[in-house]
Amino acid sequence: MLKVDILAAPQTAGSILYGLYDILMIPEVWPQVILGEPPASLVRVRIVSVSTESFECRGGVPVTPHVALRDANDADIVCVPNMTIPLDQSPHGRFAPEVAWLQECHASGKTIASVCSGALLLAETGLLDGQTATAHWLYENMFRQFYPRIDFRPERVLTFAGDEDRLVLAGGMSSWQDLALYLIARFLGPEYAVHASKIYVVADHTDGQLPYAAFARRIQNDDPAIKICQLWLSDNYEKADAVAQMHALSGLARRTFSRRFKATTGYKPLEYVQALRIEEAKQLLESTPGAIDEVAASVGYQDGSAFRRLFQKRTGLTPSAYRKKFHHSRFDIAH
């Protein structure tokens, strides 16, 4: 019997917690649902937490853990759903009991899998140092700031780390589906993953996370000179000499401007301009029928080919493919 423990806390999203729980139970119930036979004894799934006391997770969803961490020591797989941490706060020192328990689980040979911001708990264990990891794309800057030894890949849906790939990390919120199908296929067999995919009508995110990522253009207050530049760029991103004009506006020496801009925003000035232009282009592709070259010109690129190359590099899709995937008409029920 495959034994799976799913870690839960008040910061966990109920959709991920119970989504994982349900889909990982499919190998158990497939014979009953499809064949009319008694359930197979293939999987045991439990919800574990610091204690067995009931609590509410995000959105007021009730959770009653099956077992406390101190008594949860016989699983083959431990799953860590999202553990929401504010993007503007340090992740260090949070979830200390859970982090210590994960270290023990890894030391005893268990496979540990995370979803979304659950990767931050794995980062806190130190097990990801020198390894490749992923999480929700929103946490890219947090990983780069607080865990510089981790090779963070925001474009990935799944990454693998450690000896024998005993650390498995899934990206954004709904990537729990990809993780569950992978774990079922790896530990029980591909046919069981097919069963789960059919029952839940889910498939993997073959495009990765990049098409879904949005540029977080937060105006920073820590550096007044850089804040002025950000505000100016919001209305002037299409200008050919945008970086030079920001530099002049800042009143700083060039090297000082570049260094402070990167320290404040997490981007080099040109990278920031490109990210803002591509984000504006994405919105135009989502909402208008204009030609690709017209979209490129409106955000500051007169060379349509250069725009297409940069767009695909940053989103993983061509502009045409992005429009097909995200245009508003696709979500118009009456269309």
pLDDT tens by residue, 209-233: 888 777 877 777 789 999 999 999 9
β-strand pairing of 77-80 with 151-152: unpaired
State residue 264's pLDDT score.
87
Please state the pTM of the whole predicted model. 0.78
235 pLDDT band, cuts 50/70/90, is very high
Percent of the chain with pLDDT strictly greater than 90: 73
State residue 106's pLDDT score.
97
Alpha carbon distance 27, 11 (integer Å)? 28
Q: pLDDT digits over 1-11, tens only?
A: 899 999 999 99
| Cα distances (angstroms) measured from residue 215 to each of 72, 157, 208, 287, 334 | 40, 18, 16, 17, 30
Q: What integer is the mean pLDDT of 45-59?
A: 96
Residues contacting residue 161 through CB under 8 Å, at least 6 positions apart:
127, 128, 131, 132, 133, 167, 168, 169
Q: CA angle, 210 as apex, 140 and 132 as ends, to 5°?
A: 50
Q: What integer is the mean pLDDT of 61-67?
A: 97
Q: pLDDT digits over 31-43, tens only?
A: 777 778 877 788 9
First to last CA, the chain: 48
Q: What integer is the mean pLDDT of 170-198?
A: 90
Higher pLDDT, 171 or 266: 171
State residue 335's pLDDT score.
41
Question: Which domains, and CATH codes, for the chain?
Answer: 2-212 (3.40.50.880), 224-331 (1.10.10.60)
Q: What integer is the mean pLDDT of 79-87?
A: 93
DSSP class per residue in 78-113: EEE------TTS--TTSSHHHHHHHHHHHHTT-EEE
Q: Which long-range contacts (CB under 8 A, 24 or more apart) does 242-245 make?
A: 242/273, 242/300, 243/269, 243/270, 243/273
Tell me: pLDDT of 195 over 70: yes
Q: pLDDT digits over 108-128, tens only?
A: 999 999 999 999 999 999 999
Alpha carbon distance 217, 45 (integer Å)? 40
332 pLDDT band, cuts 50/70/90, is low
State residue 333's pLDDT score.
56
Question: How many Cβ atoms are within 10 Å of 245's Cβ, its own excluded?
Answer: 15
Window from 134-143, 208-217, 232-241, 260-269 with minimum mean pLDDT:
208-217
Half-sphere exposure of 12 (CA within 13 A, CB side): 33
Alpha carbon distance 174, 157 (integer Å)? 10
* Average pLDDT of the chain to the nearest whole number: 91
Tell me: pLDDT of 132 over 90: yes
Alpha carbon distance 130, 100 (integer Å)? 20
Tell me: pLDDT of 267 over 50: yes
